[in-house]
Amino acid sequence: MVEDYYAYPDAHGRFGAYGGTFVAETLIAPLDELKAAYLRLRDDPAFQREFADDLKHYVGRPSPIYHAKRLSQQNGGAQILLKREDLNHTGAHKINNTVGQALVARAIGKQRIIAETGAGQHGVATATVCARFGMQCVVYMGAVDIERQKINVYRMKLLGAEVIPVTSGSQTLKDALNEALRDWVTNVADTFYIIGTVAGPHPYPMMVRDFNAVVGREARAQMLEQFGRLPDVLTACVGGGSNAIGLFHAFLNDREVRIVGAEAAGEGIATGQHAASLAAGRPGVLHGNRTYVLCDDDGQITETHSVSAGLDYPGVGPEHAFLKDSGRAEYVGVTDDEALAAFHLLCETEGILPALESSHAVAQAIKLARELPKDKLILCNLSGRGDKDVHTIAKREHIEL
């Protein structure tokens, strides 16, 4: 039984059995430097003030909680509330983290920024803060993802970033992460690596969580103010898990709030064509941390599938692995088809076009709502907007634009 979920990670970056620092020797020193800098800045009121100020005036926070009444009514069960991260500058929660990490990079004097990206949202959010601070920006992106997220690739270029296609392995997010790590190990003296999710070696899972935790802190206060109580259930999509941990974190010690993460079940977990690391994977080591991974019996990481590039990842943040094992959170699969159906339903009932990633969370909220009475409140993290996915959806539904 975990007494206090805020006691994690420990000094070694461990969330129970998960997390840690599984990297090559060359990266230990820069990670130690980053950890020292971040711990200092975390307790520095001036830094926190500047971060809060940027979140308010640049990102546009707080994001509202919106009661999706028609969706709830049509669905016929509990009330679905949406935390509108899609209304942030650049269109997703990803900007919370990149604003924070750019401030850290500036504080330790690094002028060259690298990032990996899957759907392109983190790449765009990184290119955005680099433009704002006049920093050089290099984004690694799998060649497959470049094809499915052309609009975001162009956005990054408009923002002055260099987008480098990654053609190794499955040519998706995990390979972009490998390539970014290779760049970092080579250019470690002047380069800051802005990881886009709560994975990677310590201190990234902690730091990225802290920067996204504003989502849950806001949501908790908004719930008390707007509804006079906490939600009954939280749900969010989980790829690497940064938007999910961002929402969940402020509620971890509120044991009465049920927490459900929605992973990408792709064409169905039974088909093997999915990216549900927690629901269908096993503990292993990938990209610098111990966590649940999707791999074969030889320990080779397997290729994943999801209609949404942002969830197409064979690992997951170590804190989610810890929350799963401790029983604090449940993780379930949502298929491509279910996510697509939720996408259309939200468009048609509420006039909100969600990202394909976030559509997984919406689908899960719809499922949960059906099982619960009308007076229950489900808070769903609408982590991003779907403009970037319009081409993917049209193509999937055989529509020529």
Task: Give me the residues that bind another protein (CB under 8 A), please.
Answer: 12, 20-30, 32, 168-169, 174-175, 177-178, 181-182, 185-186, 188-189, 282-288, 293, 295, 297-302
Give the shortest CB-299-to-another protein separation in angstroms: 3
> Is 383 one of the catalytic residues?
yes
Catalytic one of 63, 83, 85, 94? 94
Give the residue with the Cβ less far from another protein, 62 or 288.
288
CA–CA gap between residue 220 and residue 101 (Å, rounded): 24
β-sheet bridge partners, residue 363: none
As a whole number of Å, the end-to-end CA separation of the chain is 54
The reply to whether 94 belongs to the active site is: yes
Place of tokens 């800098």: 37
255 versus 300: smaller Cβ distance to another protein? 300
**Matching residue, tokens 């190794």:** 168
Tell me the closest approach of the beta carbon of residue 30 to another protein, in angstroms: 7
Closest listed residue to residue 295, CA positions, set 322, 199, 287: 287
Amino acid at 229: R
Write down the least CB distance from residue 105 to another protein, Å: 18
Which strands, in side-by-side order, build the sheet including 258-266?
Answer: 65-67, 79-84, 377-382, 233-238, 258-266, 329-335
**C-alpha Rg value of the chain to the nearest Å:** 19
- CA quadruple 249, 204, 23, 129: dihedral sign: positive
Indicate the residue among 55 and 301 with the shorter CB distance to another protein.
301
Among candidate residues 85, 116, 319, 357, the one labeled active-site is 116
Cβ of residue 39: shortest distance to another protein, in angstroms? 17
Contact 401, 394 (CB under 8 A): yes
Phi, psi of 240, deg, nearest 5? -75, -35
d(CA 387, CA 398): 18
Instruction: Give the nearer residue to another protein in terms of CB position, either 305 or 360.
Output: 305
12 vs 255 by CB, closer to another protein:
12
- Closest contact distance (angstroms) between CB of 186 and another protein is 4
- The candidate with the shortest Cα–Cα distance to 303, out of 273, 269, 324, 327, is 273
Least Cβ distance, residue 82 to another protein (angstroms): 35
Number of helices (H), then strands (E), belonging to the chain: the values are 16, 14
Q: How far is residue 99 from each of residues 113, 212, 213, 357, measured CA to CA in Å?
A: 12, 10, 13, 21
Reply yes or no on whether 277 is catalytic.
no
State which residue, 4 or 25, has the beta carbon closest to another protein.
25
Just list the catalytic residues: 94, 116, 383
